[in-house]
Amino acid sequence: MSAASLKIAQTILEGFKTHYRLFQSSTNEALELFTEKKWKDLQNLSTSRISFYDNRVAETFKTIQSQYNAGELESLKWDQIKKDYVGLLLDIEQPELAETFFNTVICKLLDRKYFNNEYIFFRPTLSTEHIESEKPTYYTYEINSKNFLDVSHKILHELGLANKLKHKRRNIRKVLLFLKSINNQIRRKNLSQVQIISSLFIRNKGAYLVGKFFNPEDFYPFAVAFTPNEDDDIEIDAILTSQEQLRILFNFSRAYFFVNANVPSGVVEFLKECMPNKPAGEIYSSIGLHKHGKTLFYRDFIKHLKNSKDLIIEAPGTIGLVMLVITLPSYPYVFKIIRDDKNRRKDVTAEYIKGKYQLVKSHDRVGRLADTMEFKEVALPIERFDKKTIELLRTSASESTFIEKEMIIFKHVYIERRMQPLNLYINQEIIKDKLDRLIIDYGYAIKDLASANIFPGDMLSKNFGITQNNQRIVFYDYDEIMLMTDCEFKKIPESNNDLDEFSEDVWYPVGKNDVFPENFTSFLMTNPKIKDIFREHHNDLFDVKFWNGKKQSIIENKVESFFPYHESIRLKNF
């Protein structure tokens, strides 16, 4: 053990500890903002938290660089630094996150030619099982038909909500009605215990209690949603009782939760039991630990490559001018690479595109924007690409990729969940009721985005996808998105010349950020399968009043509620 290697290991760990302390502090602040109903402040906190990790990495990188020059860094024994770091993690409650932080700093310090799996945590080194914390991951209560009321009070107290509910009796009544509805299950299935994660999950204008009911042989996951009512008082709004409803709650198209987790692996393990088909990486991401979510994704993808033989191909869908999209058919993700400048408008630079993706990353995605993972300097074996894709990368994305030693190197790539493009789905033979439901949701997707201060830009159906499990419409083409508050929504002025309206050119002045909703008909209404049902339910999207009304609400700092569950299960009528 050298003094230099130990000092660098200690510096990296201190950077991680600072990061996680601030991360946990933001969760405590989020609970205060939620109970005080300061919705805009909570939204701003969610946005600012996205940069916490990168800021701490940059600080740690700068500290080490100030102590060693490039030549000294290259000559250090990085495998020894890793060993020293492992020795420092023995008493850390988040060793898996600390390992990911180490990887990020090391990859930033070293030139890519020095990358070596012996220098980083390509595989986890320390187990996350049986890590104990002063605050437990979950609370356990014995339940029976006589103590429902008492247990309900205890749970609300433990989660800090007992004194925050204005109408406590009405809320407890909702809980009792729910417990009564499953009372037959308790008698029939002998449910005798409930476990509750010891922290609320806070996002947007909702806080969620997550737990499991047990009997000696099985368990039943559930979540309780607390949201403001019409008078802005916090109440129980819904109780989710199925794995499918929980998967929607933790879906990749929503913003990250605030969760107070001293031992995040314990929370993830609990949630993984509730949603066994959901990847652990996506669960880590959903609770704000998206950098470690990336780590787990990469490990899983490399493992999948070793256990599969299909080739990476161009993804199905309409070919775009800005992004080249490829996929491995046996793996449910797509890889999006920025095309070369020659394929784009001059004002759409690579940095411009990255800015759009960063906007989505830091924004409240309200269930309508796909989350993305940003990777740099990723190497994949060229033998796993079909010839057409290799040629596409060479001719259309040479600024973002290159070939070296039988590997294709991606300088920069975005990865997101694969969805079926809406335009391809519409053109299939589909039962009319199902098609109508999707087209109606297509319109609501645009409206939800507008309410969340996102103007999609290109609203063609080719830029929307259908999620696999719950068949929800999600937007995934970000190169033209704008904030609603940056747009100028206008009505097309009346013409003084009857021939103007027949001209191929626009005869009225158009500013850079001008939007004319009346023109949406020219591209949203071209498909006869869409036209009638879309007009019936969303005709207001073609009216400038709708857009300016949404914009004004945003300017006035009004934050809308977006419920991650169906209207039919809300308890507002109790």
- Residue 350, phi then psi, degrees to nearest 5: -60, -40
Cβ(43)–Cβ(204) below 8 Å:
yes
Residue 173's pLDDT is 74
Question: What is the per-residue pLDDT for 351?
Answer: 92
Query: Do residues 187 and 282 both lie within one domain?
Result: yes
360, 395, 418 — which closes off a domain? Answer: 418
Residue 74 pLDDT: 67
Q: What is the pLDDT of residue 105?
A: 94
Residues 6+ positions from 104 with CB-CB distance below 8 Å: 53, 57, 291
* CA dihedral of residues 339, 341, 345, 348 (deg, nearest 10): 80
Q: pLDDT by residue for the chain (574 residues), tens digit each?
A: 578 889 999 999 999 999 999 999 999 999 999 999 999 999 999 999 999 999 999 999 999 988 887 567 666 788 889 999 999 999 899 999 999 999 999 988 886 654 567 788 888 998 898 898 888 999 999 987 778 778 888 888 888 887 777 777 777 777 667 666 655 554 556 678 899 999 999 999 999 999 998 887 788 899 999 999 888 888 899 999 889 999 999 999 999 999 999 999 999 999 999 999 999 999 999 999 999 999 999 999 999 999 999 999 999 988 888 999 999 999 999 999 999 987 677 678 999 999 999 999 999 999 999 999 999 999 999 999 999 999 999 999 999 999 998 999 999 999 999 999 999 988 887 788 888 999 999 999 999 999 999 999 989 999 999 998 768 999 999 989 999 999 999 998 887 776 656 666 777 788 889 999 998 988 777 777 788 899 999 999 999 999 999 999 999 999 999 999 988 888 876 5
For 459, other C-beta atoms within 10 Å of its C-beta total: 21
Residue 85 CA from chain centroid, whole number: 30
Reported in sequence order, the residue ranges of 264-332 that DSSP labels E, i.e. its strands, are 313-314, 323-327
| Contact between 26 and 258 (Cβ < 8 Å) | yes
> Would the pTM count as exceeding 0.85?
yes
CB 200 within 8 A of CB 177: no
Structure-token pair, residue 288? 């704000």
Contact 333, 415 (CB under 8 A): yes
Looking at the fold, whether 147 and 289 belong to one and the same domain comes out as yes
Q: Are residues 152 and 285 in the same domain?
A: yes
Classify 378 in phi/psi space as left (phi over 0), alpha (psi -120 to 50) or beta.
beta
The partner residues of 80 in beta bridges, in order of sequence, read none
| Tokens coding 65 | 């660089």
The position carrying tokens 């200690």 is 10
Give per-residue burial for 204-215: e unless 16+ CB within 10 Å, then b. Answer: bbbbbbbbbbbe
pLDDT of residue 184: 55
Whether residues 526 and 434 fall in one domain: yes
Contacts 24+ apart (CB under 8 A), 457-462: 457/481, 457/482, 459/520, 459/523, 459/524, 460/423, 460/523, 460/524, 461/421, 461/422, 461/423, 461/426, 461/527, 461/530, 462/317, 462/318, 462/421, 462/422, 462/423
pLDDT at site 494:
81
Q: Which residues contact 20 (CB under 8 A, 6 or more apart)?
A: 94, 97
Tell whether 173 is covered by a domain.
yes
Q: Which domain holds residue 313?
A: 308-418
375 and 314 housed in the same domain = yes
Return the structure tokens found at 39.
């919705």
Residue 277 contacts by C-beta under 8 Å, 6 or more apart in sequence? 243, 247
Q: What is the pLDDT of residue 4?
A: 84
Write out the catalytic residue numbers.
371
**Measured CA distances, 562 to 213, 225, 313, 444, 451 (Å):** 27, 12, 36, 12, 9
Provide the number of structural domains found in the chain: 4
Residue 253's pLDDT is what?
93
Q: What is the DSSP letter of 257?
A: P
Nearest to 327 by CA among 243, 250, 417: 417
451 vs 9: CA distance, rounded Å? 46
On whether both 448 and 413 belong to a single domain, the answer is no
pLDDT of amino acid 146: 78
In a domain, 571, yes or no: no
**Are residues 205 and 175 both part of a single domain?**
yes
Whether residue 479 is contained in a domain is answered as yes
Q: Kindly report the three-state secondary structure assignment for every residue of 451-485.
A: HCCEECCCCCHHHEEECCCCCCEEECCCCCCEEHH
**DSSP state string for 164-211:** T-TTHHHHHHHHHHHHHHTHHHHHHHT--EEEEESS-EEETTEEEEEE
**Residue at 559 is within a domain:** no
Domain containing residue 514: CATH number: 1.10.510
525 and 440 fall within a common domain: yes
Domain membership flag for residue 62? yes
